[in-house]
Amino acid sequence: MTGSERRVPVGRIVGLSGVNGAVKLESWTEPRTRIFDYQPWLLVKAPGQASEMVGVIGREQGKGMIATLPGVEDRETARDWVGCEILVAREALPDPEPDQYYWCDLEGLEVYTGQDVLLGRVHHLFATGANDVVVVRGGGREHLVPFVPGDYVTRVDLDAGRMDVDWDPEF
């Protein structure tokens, strides 16, 4: 992987499992076992503290996920990896279906209203029970726009770096 490749968070190491160095994972992929398909992993403990891992294997176990990291064969060594975020190269992910988007591809897009008023840029998204929400920051304001294509999100043009929304800039 080159330093210019964009990396995407796909999970986190959340705990230990057993005495042979296995770790518990939280996976953000769908299905959650797909996390093992995207390698190498970049394990990030803190800014500037990252290690690349190739050949991670794992499985579902009960309601959780268990992984074995190459070269990690005991509980004490595995403990060093707890808390690491798991990142992969964006290019390792499959292309999304039409009209589907990875959140990381939406972050940074300029957001305009139907009247061509710039609201700001997509800062991040978050999930709710009903729908995802786009957090747009700009002009000293923050707008929380429901990510509901056809209703609030009227167009996404990744090539142009633009998202159009049906949203009142005063709201």
CATH of the domain at 150: 2.30.30.240
pLDDT at 3 over 50: no
pLDDT tens per residue across span 129-160 = 899 999 999 999 999 999 999 999 999 999 99
* Number of domain units in the chain: 2
Rounded CA gap, 134 and 12, in Å?
Answer: 23
Residues 82 and 14 in one domain: yes
**Side-chain half-sphere CA neighbours of 152 within 13 A:** 15
Question: Do 14 and 58 fall within a single domain?
Answer: yes
pLDDT at position 35, please? 96
Tell me the pLDDT band of 2, cut-offs 50, 70 and 90.
Answer: very low
Indicate the SS3 state at residue 29.
Answer: coil
Q: Quick check: is 98 in a domain?
A: no
CATH code at position 48: 2.40.30.60
Question: SS3 sequence, 35-99?
Answer: HHHCCCEEEEEECCEEEEECCCEEEEECCEEEEECCCCCCHHHHHCCCCCEEEEEHHHCCCCCCC
pLDDT of residue 171: 87
Residue-wise pLDDT tens digits, 58-114: 999 988 999 999 999 999 999 999 999 999 999 999 999 988 999 999 999 999 999
- Its domain, for residue 32, covers 7-91
* 41, 52 contact by CB (below 8 A): yes
In a domain, 151, yes or no: yes
Residue 26 lies in a domain: yes
Antiparallel, parallel or unpaired: β 162-165 and 110-113 = parallel
In a domain, 48, yes or no: yes
pLDDT higher than 80, residue 4: no
CA dihedral (2, 135, 165, 114) in degrees, to 10, reads -110
